Each structure stands twice: as structure tokens, then as C-alpha cells.
A and B are shown apart, each in its own frame.
Chain A
Amino acid sequence: MQALVIAAHGSHLNPDASDPTYAHADTIRETGAFDEVREAFWKEEPHFREVIRTLESDEVFVVPLFISEGYFTEQVIPRELRLEEWDPDRWESDGTSASQATLEAEDVGKTIHYCGPVGTHDAMTDVIVQRAETATENPDVGEGFGLSVVGHGTDRNENSAKAIKYHSDRIAERDRFDEVKALFMDEEPEVDDVTDYFESDDIVVVPLFIADGYHTQEDIPEDMGLTEDYRLGWDVPADVDGHRIWYTGAVGTEDLLADVLLERAADAGADIGDAREAVRELAASVAGTGADSGPERGSGRGGLDA
């Protein structure tokens, strides 16, 4: 038997913070690729501390639903899962290349394949592009468009900016969009000046965050000048300084993210059969109907209240 554990942050204050975790877990449940699929959280239940013991499977794949490598993926999660043999060197990562490490969870004697976070997996690049497609309701979006990936910045975690730049570079290499730029909330180049960085009239802005919350639904839209007050909402696209800004919700809410979770587990040796195809088809059909586009309002404050 094999199990998948999706390890996410969650929130004591805002129930929406865990919505993407539940949604992607349910998608993967539907594929039947794992005997057990379990959500686990730092701020909700089941806590990281107790999740492994709720599983009957002996082979457990843990995928952190986090954007970057850093404090949570390198310290908190392995410690709380009681992976005594863990050492960040096991990932041999430069900050964006973590793959997996196989360890024992000491309290339960099960084999844990501890995977790198979803945010730094190569497949995340596709999710960002798909996010641009759903936001513009155009599967061929690219020509005449600039794309910006937005992240938090380096104040809390030096790897946070690396993940943003990594995907921006990969998208740029594809020559699909006229321009690609990594922008940040708390460091240069700043998202506040988004229009300064683009010549294209149309700019798609994709925030590389897991859940919609304070940053994606309040800070960033106001900083970019999409709206005076986030409570009033904003248009997609919105006119700012002669550009059209296509602002999407957090990339973590994109259906295709379930595919990245699956890939992480498969890279670590999970047998997932044709689950990826199933998830990709599902995500494509959702994108095709445009069901998930437009601003998602009212998710309130406090996505991450750590």
C-alpha cells in the first residue's frame, strides 16, 4: 500500500487557506493512484505531528504544498514528522532542485519519501503558464503579452526569490511571451512598479503563492494599482498606466497543481499509473470552460498567520 500526504500550512484564522490543499487532495483521490491520500497541516488538523499514524500504508510519500525550499520544508516539516535521519543535505539542492529523501518516521516505523516542495518542481512552470491561460481565457496566450511571476521576496527566506526567478527564466526560454519578469513584494524589482518593466500593452501577473489570502487578495492588487481598496474588487483585465493587467489568483489554486503533486511523488518512486493523464485532462477541461477565471473575491485576511 502507498499513501500520499500533502503537507500544507493552513491557518487558525482563515478557513480558505486550506482550500487548495483539500481540492488537490480530492482530485488525486479521484484518480485512485494512492490507497490513501491525506491532508496535513502546520496550523490545522491533522497536524504534521500526527498524520503518519493515521495511515495504514507502509510507503508514504510526503509532498510539501509550499512554494520554496526553506524553513518549513527543511526544518519544520521533517522535525514534526519525526524524520530523525533528516538533514537538508539529503536533498543536495541549490535552493530549487530538491527531489526526495527516503527516511524512517521514528514514531511509527514507516518508510517516508520526503519530497521537495511543489513550488520548485519543473512542472510548476506549466501551472504558471496555465494560470495565464485561465486568466485570459485564451489557451494560446503569449504573443503581444508580457508575463510576470510575483513572489514574496527574500526577507523571510533566501530561497523564496530563487523559485520565482527559476520559473520566470524557464518561461522566458520558451519564447512564448514577449517579455517575462520576476517581481517581488519586498525586494527589487517590486511589483508596485509592474508597468515600468514591460513594453507590452497586456501583462499577465501570476502570484506564486499557494493559497489566496492577504497577500494575493489585498496587498498585491493594491500595490499594483488595480484598485484603491481591495474590498471594491478589480477588473480582469484592469487598466494601469496605459497597460492592461491580467491579474490571476494564487497559482496554488490552479487545478493543474494536482499534477505537480503527483509528479513529485512519482519522482520519488510512487506508482501512479495513468493518474497524471487523468488530472491533466480534468484541468484542461476546467481551463477550457473558463470556469476558474476572474478574480476570486472575499477570501479575507491571513492566508499565512505564522
Chain B
Amino acid sequence: MTVAADDLEALLDRASSGVALDGLRIDETDDGYNLEAGENRWPGLDEAALGRALESSDEYVTNWRYWQETVGGEGTARRAFLRWCERAPLADAEDQADAEATVDAPLGVPERYDALRDGIDREWGQLSITARFVDIDNPDGERVYDLWHVDDADSDLADLEVYDEPRDAREIATHDDDGRYRPLKTAPTLPAGWAFTGLSGDDLVDAVGFFYPATIANWHRERQGALDVDHWLETAERQTGIYDVIDELPREAVEWMTEACCVDSQCLRRREWEYEEGDDLDADGGDGPFPCREPCSLVIAAARKWAILESEEERTYELELTTSELNQLEELIDAVAEGRVDEIREADVNDGANRYRARYLRAKRFGEEGLEATKVDD
């Protein structure tokens, strides 16, 4: 493969202000051009010699062209994300190097070029992204991206619904497999069965943005050490109107709330907000690649409900139950909380949350007013 003439021209144009990317380096000095491509160094070249030397470094040249000419956007989240997709070194990643060294070491140009022939896979929540060359046999540096559900990693493309318009991601993300509306985009309930293939970098970033809005921007800021986290109290105190009450939610209840809403089984964002700066919550914030920088609107809406409920006094009630019935109440609450209700088989009467068991309990213990319990503390 040869380096295209217009690539050479573009590189020469830029050489005076210096070219430096992924191991390719060209400086213009009084003694001519100095070229570096990976391990190789050529000092003091004239233009013709530079051209010939670049011919032998075509991977570095096409890589440079892809990143500088096609992707552009120096310093943007978009560019950082696309580089992350193919495990290219990230400009702001020095302090991350340790964390990533073991599993995720950034790849140099030759290794990356090898890997891009097969496709480099990344996971972003429930999204699986493959970066690959457009032309695998004769790569000219242009990349495209495939996007599908992690559960479809082994599916045949022919079995998936194939899309190419990033906006279609909005439709896909609207309902879960049971047809229920998904108001929280990062809930781990994204349906499978679809694929976007051959997306440009810009289209990939758009599609990911429709699936998981703002995750790329916040991930990028976090890498730069610029993630602006708003902790619970700040966020709660900022609210007005009907949400004005949420700053009255007791600290303990905020714990329960994060355990209810923010753990990985409910939300793939990694909760970075705490009760207050220096006052951490116990519940696990999760392990996802993208951070959550402040309580979301769903949590705020739920917090309002809990703030109202928590203002009630506790009382003592007396009700008649057998030990098994008490256990059954636990099983019922647990099944609802874990979203397990639909999995319980019709005839599985050993499960306390089985519908017949629940109906039996209701028939036996509910009166006109529901559960027959007596207040005993007044």
C-alpha cells in the first residue's frame, strides 16, 4: 500500500507547526524535517526524502489522517470516546495508566492496526461496540463502528434488526422487553435484538448519546479530573416547587434510597454523588464505565414521595399471622423488589410470592378494610 499524495501534502502543510500523534512525529527545523514513526527515526530530511520515509510508515500516516482529518475535535469527548473504543492512548490518561494497564493497556499503531482488522470490542453499559477498518483487506485507515446489545455478541447479524440511523436508538430504548416504558435510560433493561452496523464515528457517538444521554460527556470530564459532582444535599436544597421538601429526607433514608435505586441491578451509572462532600453513603455506587454526577430526576421524584412518607410517625400494630405467613410477607416484598414476580410459575406453591399463595393469604387475612391489624400504642 502506498501513502496517498494528498496525505503527504496535508502532512507537509502541518509539519511547520509540528505533527505529533500516536508515535508519528514531524518537526521542521533549519536542517530539514525530522521524522519519527514508532521506533524509527529519520533526521534532517528534505521534502522528497520525507515523502519516501513516510511511504514506509504508511500505517502511521493513515492513522494520523483518520484522527486529525476525519475525526478531528481535539480535546472533545467525542474524540476521546472514539479513541477509547479502539484502545488508542488518551491524551488525558496518564494517571489512569495504572488502572488500565492490566486489562486495557493502550495499543500502539501497529498492534491497533492488527486488531482493527478483526475488530476491537468494547462494552459501554449494555452496549457492545466494535471498531474496525472499513476495508479490512487493504486498510486505508478509515474506521467504522458496529453497535449492538451485549447479549447479542454471539448472535448472527441476520437474526437482528439492522439500523443505520442513530436516532432509531431512541425508539429502541423507549420500552423494555415487556413493553414497559423506560424513563431511566441507564436502567439495565435495554432490549436486545438490534444492531447498528458500519456507523461513522460521529454517528456512533450520536447513537450512544441517544441510548445513554450525557454518559460520554461525563465520562470524559471524569477522565480529565473535571467531573463536577453535586452531592445529595446540594441537589436537594436547590429544588423548588413540589420538590422543595426533599431536603427533609433523613440521612438514613437517603441510604435506603440509593440502595433501592442506584445499585447496578437498577442503574448502570456509577453513582459518584454522596450524602455530602466528605460524608459518604454506604450503598455500592456500581462499577459502570460512566459516572452519575448528581441524583437524577427519577430519584428526585421518588425522594419526594419518601420525604412525605418519612414524615409519618411510627406506630405499633398487632396482627395475627403464622410464622410461615410472616415469612411469606418477606418473600412477597422481596419478589416485587427484585422484579421476580413474572418468573414465578403458576403452580409453584412453594414460592411465597406465588399468586395463589398471595390470593390465599388475602382471602384469609384481609377484612373489608384490607389487612386486619390493630394499633396498640394509643
Task: Tell me whether A12 and B301 are in contact (CB under 8 A).
Answer: yes
- With a CB–CB cut-off of 8 A, which chain A residues contact B174? 15
Q: Which residue of A lies closest to B206 (CB)?
A: A36
CB contacts under 8 Å to B, within A5-62, are 11-15, 22, 26, 41-47, 49-51, 53-54, 56
Beyond A15-B175, A56-B73, A79-B238, is A47–B170 a contact (Cβ under 8 Å)?
A: no
Whether B240 pairs with A75 at a CB distance below 8 angstroms is yes
For residue B238, give the distance in angstroms from its CB to the closest CB of chain A. 7
B238 with A50: CB separation less than 8 A: no
Question: Looking across the interface, which residue of chain A has its beta carbon closest to that of B167?
Answer: A26
| B241 at interface, CB cutoff 8 A | yes
The answer to whether B183 touches A12 (Cβ under 8 A) is: yes
Q: Which A residues lie within 8 Å of B217 (CB)?
A: 50, 53-54
Q: Note all chain B residues with C-beta closer than 8 A to A71.
A: 241
Q: Which residue of B lies closest to A71 (CB)?
A: B241
For residue B43, CB closer than 8 A to chain A, the reply is no
B214 touches A50 (CB 8 A): yes
Q: Is A306 an interface residue (CB 8 A)?
A: yes
Q: How far is the CB of A121 from chain B (nearest CB, A)?
A: 25
Chain A residues within 8 Å of B185, by CB: 44-45
Counting chain A residues whose Cβ lies within 8 A of the other chain, the interface size class is 20 to 34
Contact among A11, A22, A42, A50 with B213 in the assembled complex (CB-CB below 8 Å): A50
Contact B241 A50 (CB under 8 A): no
CA distance in complex: A47, B299 (Å): 13
Cβ contacts under 8 Å, B184 to chain A: 45
Q: Of the candidates B183, B213, B218, B297, which one forms a contact with A13 in the assembled complex, judged by CB atoms under 8 Å apart?
A: B183
Contacts of A12 in B (CB 8 A): 183, 297-298, 301
Contact B183 A53 (CB under 8 A): no
- Name A104-160 residues within 8 Å CB distance of B: 107
Which of A26, A43, A51, A75 gathers the greatest number of chain B CB atoms within 10 Å? A43
Asked whether any CB of chain B lies closer than 8 Å to the CB of A240, the reply is: no
The chain A residue sitting closest to B240, CB to CB, is A75
A79 to B230 CA separation, bound complex (whole angstroms): 14
Residue with the highest number of chain B CB atoms closer than 10 Å, among A43, A54, A71 = A54
Given A13-B181, A53-B214, answer yes or no on A42-B78 (Cβ-Cβ < 8 Å): no
Q: Tell yes or no: A76 within 8 A of B by CB.
A: yes
Interface size class of B (residues with CB under 8 A): 20 to 34
B242 interfacial by beta-carbon distance below 8 Å = yes
Q: Which of B183, B213, B228, B240 contacts A43 (CB 8 A)?
A: B183
Tell me whether B216 is interfacial, beta carbon within 8 Å. Answer: yes
Q: Given contacts A53-B218, A53-B221, A56-B76, is CB(A47)–CB(B297) below 8 Å?
A: yes
Measured CB to CB, the closest approach of chain B to A149, in angstroms, equals: 26
Contact between B218 and A50, CB atoms less than 8 A apart: yes
**A22 — which chain B residues lie within 8 A by C-beta?**
167, 170
The docked-state distance in angstroms from the alpha carbon of A47 to that of B184 is: 11
Chain B residues lying within 8 Å of A43, measured Cβ to Cβ, are 183, 297, 301
Residues of chain B from 135 to 182 with CB closer than 8 A to chain A in the complex: 167, 170, 174-175, 181
CB nearest to A56 among chain B residues: B76
Q: Report how far A242 CA is from B242 CA in the complex, Å.
A: 43
Q: How far is the CB of A157 from chain B (nearest CB, A)?
A: 11
Report how far A128 CA is from B40 CA in the complex, Å: 69
Q: B238 — which chain A residues lie within 8 A by C-beta?
A: 79
Q: Does B55 contact A (CB under 8 A)?
A: no
Beta-carbon contact of B294 and A306 below 8 Å: no
Residue B23 CB within 8 A of the other chain: no
Question: Interface 1/0s, chain B 284-295, versus A by CB < 8 A?
Answer: 000000000110
Mask of B211-237 contacts with A, CB within 8 angstroms, 1/0: 001101110010000001000000000
- Verify B183–A54 contact, CB threshold 8 A: no
- With a CB–CB cut-off of 8 A, which chain A residues contact B218? 50, 53
Q: Specify which chain B residues have a CB less than 8 angstroms from the CB of A47 in the assembled complex.
A: 213-214, 296-297
In the complex the two chains form, what is the Cα distance from A155 to B298 in whole Å?
26
A41 surroundings in chain B (CB, below 8 A):
297
Given A15-B175, A44-B185, 9 further pairs, Cβ under 8 A: A11-B183, A12-B301, A22-B167, A44-B297, A47-B214, A50-B217, A53-B214, A56-B78, A71-B241
* Interface residues of A, Cβ cutoff 8 Å to B: 11-15, 22, 26, 41-47, 49-51, 53-54, 56, 71, 75-76, 79, 107, 306
A-B CB proximity, top 3 nearest: A46-B213, A50-B214, A45-B213
- Residue positions of B touching A, CB distance < 8 A: 73, 76-78, 167, 170, 174-175, 181, 183-185, 209, 213-214, 216-218, 221, 228, 238, 240-242, 293-294, 296-298, 301
| 5 residue pairs bridging A and B, Cβ less than 8 Å apart | A43-B297, A46-B214, A47-B297, A53-B217, A76-B240
